[in-house]
């Protein structure tokens, strides 16, 4: 379906929705709102910049709705498109700033036992010194753009910012628990300049970050490994956290007895999901209709997932400017096993 064909359909749908002598503009209002966001907040979706895809959201929307033959299904897809949460680059910059200003500052103050005093400047000076000179900010996986996090917050200090999922994987490859890798990391945290004649301040606090945490399976082992082996208090900040991941992380937080603190910036509730993981909660009046349509699509043109609701049945409706997580419904991002499905937000996969 072309964009012009979609616009014509929308006019036709609204013309049939007569509540009297004047036609309503329900579907046109949705299309206009999507068009507004598409030319502003959603203007850049990085994977769609590839020549294999169309960089125009509105044209991808028309093709995506055109995957369906039934007009009622097409209408529901149009409504669902507005239900998808798109996080732009500007949104992520705001999340980076909130992570530091709200969660890191509060956690550091708690760690050093500092409370706000009449001399607010002295309080801020101590916090800033600890953040910039004694705190290490690292990603769990390379999905988290730690370089942008540092720049958005004007952070300085530690020069190397490794992905802890990779460090954990390398440590697990060694036969002994006390690995050379772990020993070197502990040594680096004592003096990150690696120059005995010009030592840098020791790292006392570790902050790990991840952009989106769905079930928690990608990050949980790496976070636990950092807590168990580096001997420093750890703050883990998922910028966006899904319910199953929240449950798993809070269990780990209790098990680790205060050595791990988990502070998400945005936490989804089960009613935001589609599929079994919403567990009866419902925040959208078309939830059950959309679930039925997702299963219908998966049955008739199977996606490259065992479930119509994505990895581990998470059933999220999230997209970021840089990619779409596999926890989001495959009908949004997958090309299906046939290769004929036209995704709204084509996903770049980590593994082939």
Q: Which pLDDT tens digit goes with each residue over 333-345?
A: 999 999 999 999 9
What local confidence, expressed as pLDDT, does residue 159 receive?
A: 84
**What is the C-alpha to C-alpha distance for residues 113 and 77, in angstroms, rounded to an integer?**
52
Sequence-separated contacts (24+) of 160-164 with Cβ below 8 Å: 160/188, 160/192, 161/136, 161/137, 162/138, 163/138, 163/139, 164/138, 164/139, 164/140, 164/208, 164/222, 164/223, 164/225, 164/226
Q: Residue 26 is encoded by which pair of tokens?
A: 């329900």
Q: Which pLDDT tens digit goes with each residue over 306-335?
A: 999 999 999 999 999 999 999 999 999 999
Check residues 119 and 172 and name the one with the higher pLDDT: 172
Residue 218 has pLDDT above 60, yes or no: yes
Most confident of 98-112, 120-134, 164-178: 98-112
Residue 20 has pLDDT above 60, yes or no: no
Q: Residue 28 is encoded by which pair of tokens?
A: 């046109």
Band (19; pLDDT cuts 50, 70, 90): low
Check residues 331 and 21 and name the one with the higher pLDDT: 331
Average pLDDT over residues 82-106: 97
Band (158; pLDDT cuts 50, 70, 90): confident
Residue 144's CB is within 10 A of a number of other CB atoms, namely: 25
Residue 104 has pLDDT above 80, yes or no: yes
The residue behind tokens 């040594």 is 187
Q: Which pLDDT tens digit goes with each residue over 30-61?
A: 999 999 999 988 989 999 999 989 999 999 99
In terms of DSSP H, where are the helices of the chain?
Answer: 3-16, 26-38, 57-65, 71-83, 89-98, 105-111, 120-134, 146-152, 164-172, 180-190, 220-230, 243-255, 287-300, 330-333
246-273 in b/e form (b: 16+ CB < 10 A) is: bebbeebbeebeeebbbbbbeebebebb
**What is the largest distance, in Å, between two alpha-carbon atoms of the chain?**
85
For the chain, what is the radius of gyration of the CA atoms?
24
Band (192; pLDDT cuts 50, 70, 90): confident
**What is the C-alpha to C-alpha distance for residues 261 and 252, in angstroms, rounded to an integer?**
9
Enter the DSSP assignment of 18. B
Q: Which pLDDT tens digit goes with each residue over 291-302?
A: 999 999 999 999
Average pLDDT over residues 125-135: 92
């Amino acid at each position: 379906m072309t964009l012009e064909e979609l616009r014509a359909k929308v006019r036709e749908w609204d013309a049939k929705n007569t509540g009297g002598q004047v036609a309503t503009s329900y579907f046109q209002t949705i299309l206009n709102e999507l068009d507004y966001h598409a030319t502003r907040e959603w203007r850049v979706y990085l994977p769609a910049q590839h020549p294999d895809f169309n960089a125009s959201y509105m044209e991808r929307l028309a093709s995506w709705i055109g995957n369906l033959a039934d007009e009622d299904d097409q209408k529901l897809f149009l409504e669902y498109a507005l239900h998808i949460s798109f996080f732009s680059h500007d949104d992520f910059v705001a999340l980076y700033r909130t992570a530091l200003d709200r969660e890191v500052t509060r956690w550091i103050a708690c760690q050093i036992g500092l409370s706000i005093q009449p001399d607010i400047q002295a309080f801020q000076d101590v916090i800033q010194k600890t953040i910039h000179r004694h705190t290490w900010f690292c990603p769990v996986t390379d999905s988290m753009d730690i370089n942008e996090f540092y720049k958005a917050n004007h952070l300085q200090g530690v020069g190397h910012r490794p992905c802890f999922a990779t460090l954990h994987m390398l440590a697990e490859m060694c036969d002994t628990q006390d690995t050379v890798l772990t020993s070197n990391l502990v040594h680096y945290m004592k003096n990150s300049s690696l120059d005995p004649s010009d030592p840098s301040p020791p790292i006392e606090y570790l902050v790990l970050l991840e952009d989106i945490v769905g079930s928690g399976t990608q990050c949980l082992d790496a976070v636990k490994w950092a807590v168990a082996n580096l001997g420093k208090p750890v703050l883990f900040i998922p910028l966006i956290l899904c319910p199953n991941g929240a449950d798993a992380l809070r269990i780990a937080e209790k098990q680790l007895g205060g050595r791990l603190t988990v502070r998400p910036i945005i936490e989804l509730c089960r009613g935001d999901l589609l599929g079994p993981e919403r567990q009866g909660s419902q925040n959208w009046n078309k939830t059950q209709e959309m679930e039925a349509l997702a299963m219908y699509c998966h049955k008739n043109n199977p996606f490259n997932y065992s479930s119509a609701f994505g990895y581990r049945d998470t059933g999220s409706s999230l997209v970021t400017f840089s990619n779409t997580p596999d926890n989001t419904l495959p009908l949004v991002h997958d090309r299906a096993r046939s290769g004929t499905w036209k995704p709204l937000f084509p996903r770049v996969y980590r593994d082939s």
